[in-house]
Homo-oligomer: A and B are copies of this chain.
């Protein structure tokens, strides 16, 4: 399968490592001490303006670039932060990662990305590997136990997304508000019995959504049945369609959009018209705009969560203190084409 071909078999070339210009060379060129060069970059106000200028000019001429590693060694600050997610391929995460990176970038921080494949052991290993090279860490939808998380938090600044652990700064996307709106929406459309297609059992978000739906359904006097989908995936959703239909419901809310899309496909295959005879609502709003009919969903805000988590972490780093903060991002229903009056 791999058709590997070398363009020119024998053109191996030794790498000429860019032999980094050092602070000493700049110092010699400018006729000052190394410390002055250092200060010219870090605290120019300590030096005479003309000295600073002379140094900068010399540096410029030599093509000097401060060595990040050396600086990190003496200051202890390397300007990197780690971001760990369970599954990059799940469309929930890319916007979060993107926003996180943008925010980090604004303060000249770089992001180390870790992907745990939904595996707690891998997550633990990654945290360990990152620990030495980052100033702080953001754990997204962590699958680790409370104890492990606390252990890590005692080693380095940590911010959690979608995990509610007292004493550790955290950003939570509260689907509760959106879920209530979704149930109310279905109630107003005349649906009397609905299904919740649940997600991973160890997920904080899943527990939270299930509870919110249960409460809302009972307050609107609707019947609710929970149909479990093992993983938040397209095929899981597709596999539970029969279970959904045999429950005798006229509408369903799925754990996330990916699952909902699977359900949508399964319904199509079985010639069940959406939304004419069955209504469907997703969660996370990552696919809503790209299905046809457009998927009614609960807004996501993962990008805000990413941005917020990073800015929280940066704040912790500059203050060298942690506050027991708990940011909650509320969500709301986005109505599109997969919901209509009960047939």
Q: What are the residues of chain B within 8 A of A325 when measuring CB–CB?
A: 4, 6-7
Q: State whether A323 touches B6 (Cβ < 8 A).
A: yes
Q: What are the residues of chain B within 8 A of A68 when measuring CB–CB?
A: 132-133
Q: State whether A133 touches B321 (Cβ < 8 A).
A: no
Shortest Cβ distance from A332 into B: residue? B1
In the complex, how many angstroms separate the beta carbon of A343 from the nearest chain B beta carbon? 20
A98 to B117, CA, bound (A): 9
Q: What are the residues of chain B within 8 A of A80 when measuring CB–CB?
A: 112, 133
Q: CB < 8 Å: which of B2, B14, B69, B95 contacts A73? A: B69
- Given A13-B321, A262-B290, A327-B4, is A112 in contact with B111 using a C-beta cutoff of 8 Å? yes
The oligomer's copy count stands at 2
Q: State whether A15 touches B292 (Cβ < 8 A).
A: no
Q: State whether B234 touches A290 (Cβ < 8 A).
A: yes
Q: CB < 8 Å: which of B78, B113, B308 contacts A113? A: B113
Q: What are the residues of chain B within 8 A of A290 when measuring CB–CB?
A: 234, 258, 261-262, 265
Q: State whether B133 touches A7 (Cβ < 8 A).
A: no
Confirm or deny: A22 has a beta carbon within 8 angstroms of a beta carbon on chain B.
Answer: no
Quick one: which of A259-273 are within 8 Å of B by CB? 261-262, 264-265, 268-269
Q: State whether B329 touches A2 (Cβ < 8 A).
A: yes
Shortest Cβ distance from A136 into B: residue? B15
- Given A67-B132, A70-B73, A234-B290, is A326 in contact with B5 using a C-beta cutoff of 8 Å? yes
Shortest Cβ distance from A90 into B: residue? B94
A14 to B322, CA, bound (A): 6
In the complex, how many angstroms separate the beta carbon of A297 from the nearest chain B beta carbon? 15
In the complex, how many angstroms separate the beta carbon of A262 from the nearest chain B beta carbon? 7
Shortest Cβ distance from A286 into B: residue? B89
Quick one: which of A3-19 are within 8 Å of B by CB? 3-8, 11-18
Confirm or deny: A157 has a beta carbon within 8 angstroms of a beta carbon on chain B.
Answer: yes
Confirm or deny: A110 has a beta carbon within 8 angstroms of a beta carbon on chain B.
Answer: yes
- Given A115-B98, A132-B65, A264-B292, is A321 in contact with B15 using a C-beta cutoff of 8 Å? yes
Q: State whether B12 touches A323 (Cβ < 8 A).
A: yes
Q: State whether B156 touches A18 (Cβ < 8 A).
A: yes
Q: CB < 8 Å: which of B15, B261, B323 contacts A11? A: B323
| Further contacts, 4 of them, CB under 8 A, given A1-B330, A98-B115 | A5-B328, A6-B324, A15-B316, A94-B94
